[in-house]
């Protein structure tokens, strides 16, 4: 499997080092890997360390399975064991891991931690979710939209909910692929204005205005990992922002529903929305695997 013709940024921390060409190459490679249900020996003998401070179903599993499909191996390192920044400093963890493994995927509370890992380790580092960004999720989102609509240019995606890490990565990638994003958040939960500006995104506090005739409606939890202490306040502040049948009825006739999962049912979405006919949520989850394979092939081969 040729990953050789791709330009290779060293890391995937966010999309700031990526241009249209690199992003499209990743998506194209993921499409090919998916079509071929690819399994091979490209990463034979290569080992990826998964350094996770937070729980995960999709990210951990898809990265581990991707390494198996590519002939390599993954080692899961629980924060309770490693104690990154507690038992020993981030720099020391980086300078040890680079001697043992070929790449690091890190899920961290503070984005600065994954940046410090990339700064100090001479091996590729992938952000497997931080408080600021979730680029692996965005790749799966883009692949899903591309499959449903045949392309990305000019699609209108409505984001309803929290201006969080998942939205930030979507906004970073959107202008690279010609995606238009409309964002509806409660007051005080808007995304970084610089990202909104660069993406040319439309901002509102009215979920209906964002959803009207959009090609996709995307939401995520109101309380992200690490924000649990704010849950009661957030439940009040986000009232009226739930994705349900009424909101989904406003979409474009072919409009779809996306959610990165896990879902907090009864909060940001109903069960009917996730399991209903407009939902592409589980295709989106499956695409985490194919896009993870594309990332690992590109960075580790």
Total number of residues that touch ligand CP (CB under 6 A): 9
Taking CB under 6 A as the rule, does residue 165 contact ligand NVA? yes
Residue closest to 67 by CA, chosen among 99, 39, 33: 39
Cis peptide bond prior to 43, omega within 30° of 0: no
Helix-strand-coil split of the chain, %, nearest 5: 45, 15, 40
- Residue 141 is among the residues annotated as catalytic for this protein: no
- Residue 284 is among the residues annotated as catalytic for this protein: no
Using the contact rule CB under 6 A, the part of the chain among 115-123, 163-171, 281-289, 293-301 near ligand NVA is 163-171
- Residue 137 is among the residues annotated as catalytic for this protein: yes
x/- binding map, residues 228-267, to ligand NVA, per CB under 6 A? --------------------------------x-------
Taking CB under 6 A as the rule, does residue 220 contact ligand NVA? yes
Please answer whether residues 292 and 136 qualify as being in contact, where contact means their C-beta atoms are separated by less than 8 angstroms: yes
Taking CB under 6 A as the rule, does residue 132 contact ligand CP? no
CA distance 170 to 182: 11
Please answer whether residues 114 and 108 qualify as being in contact, where contact means their C-beta atoms are separated by less than 8 angstroms: yes
Per-residue tokens: 293: 């394979």
Per-residue tokens: 219: 């939401």
Taking CB under 6 A as the rule, does residue 280 contact ligand CP? no
Nearest residue to ligand NVA, by Cβ distance, number only: 224
Active-site choice (58, 69, 107, 259): 107
Out of 1, 65, 75, 225, the residue judged to bind ligand NVA by CB under 6 A: 225
Where would I find the H helices in the chain? 20-35, 58-69, 79-82, 90-100, 111-120, 135-149, 165-177, 193-199, 207-211, 231-237, 245-248, 271-275, 281-300
CB of 59 to ligand NVA, least distance (A): 7
Active-site choice (134, 182, 215, 290): 134
Binding site for ligand NVA (CB under 6 A): 129, 164-166, 220-221, 224-225, 260
Residues carrying an active site annotation: 107, 134, 137, 220, 260, 288
């Amino acid at each position: 499997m040729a990953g050789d013709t791709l330009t290779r940024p060293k890391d995937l921390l966010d999309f700031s080092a990526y241009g249209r060409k690199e992003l499209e190459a990743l998506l194209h490679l993921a499409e090919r890997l998916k079509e071929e249900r690819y399994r091979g020996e490209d990463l034979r003998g290569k080992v990826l360390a998964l350094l996770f401070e937070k729980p995960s179903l999709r990210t951990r599993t898809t990265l581990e399975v991707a390494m198996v499909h590519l002939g390599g191996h993954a080692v899961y390192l629980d924060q309770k064991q490693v104690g990154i920044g507690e038992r020993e400093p981030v720099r020391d963890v980086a300078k040890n891991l680079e001697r043992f493994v070929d790449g690091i995927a890190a899920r961290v509370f503070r984005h600065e931690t994954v940046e410090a890992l990339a700064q100090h380790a001479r091996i590729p580092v992938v952000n497997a979710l931080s408080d600021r960004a979730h680029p692996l999720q965005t790749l799966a989102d883009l692949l899903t939209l591309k499959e449903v609509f045949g392309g990305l240019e000019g699609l209108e995606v409505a984001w309803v909910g929290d201006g969080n890490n998942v939205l930030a990565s979507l906004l970073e990638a959107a202008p690279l692929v010609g995606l238009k994003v409309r964002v509806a958040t409660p007051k005080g939960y808007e995304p970084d204005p610089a990202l909104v500006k660069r993406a040319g995104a439309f901002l509102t506090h009215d979920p209906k205005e964002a959803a009207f005739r959009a090609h996709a409606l995307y939401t995520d939890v109101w309380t992200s990992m690490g924000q649990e202490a704010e849950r009661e306040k957030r439940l009040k502040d986000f009232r009226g922002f739930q994705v349900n049948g009424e909101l989904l009825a406003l979409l474009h006739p072919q409009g779809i529903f996306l959610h990165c999962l896990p879902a907090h049912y009864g909060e940001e979405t109903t069960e009917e929305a996730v399991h209903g006919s407009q939902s592409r949520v589980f295709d989106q989850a499956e695409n985490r695997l194919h896009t993870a394979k594309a990332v690992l092939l590109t960075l580790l081969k």
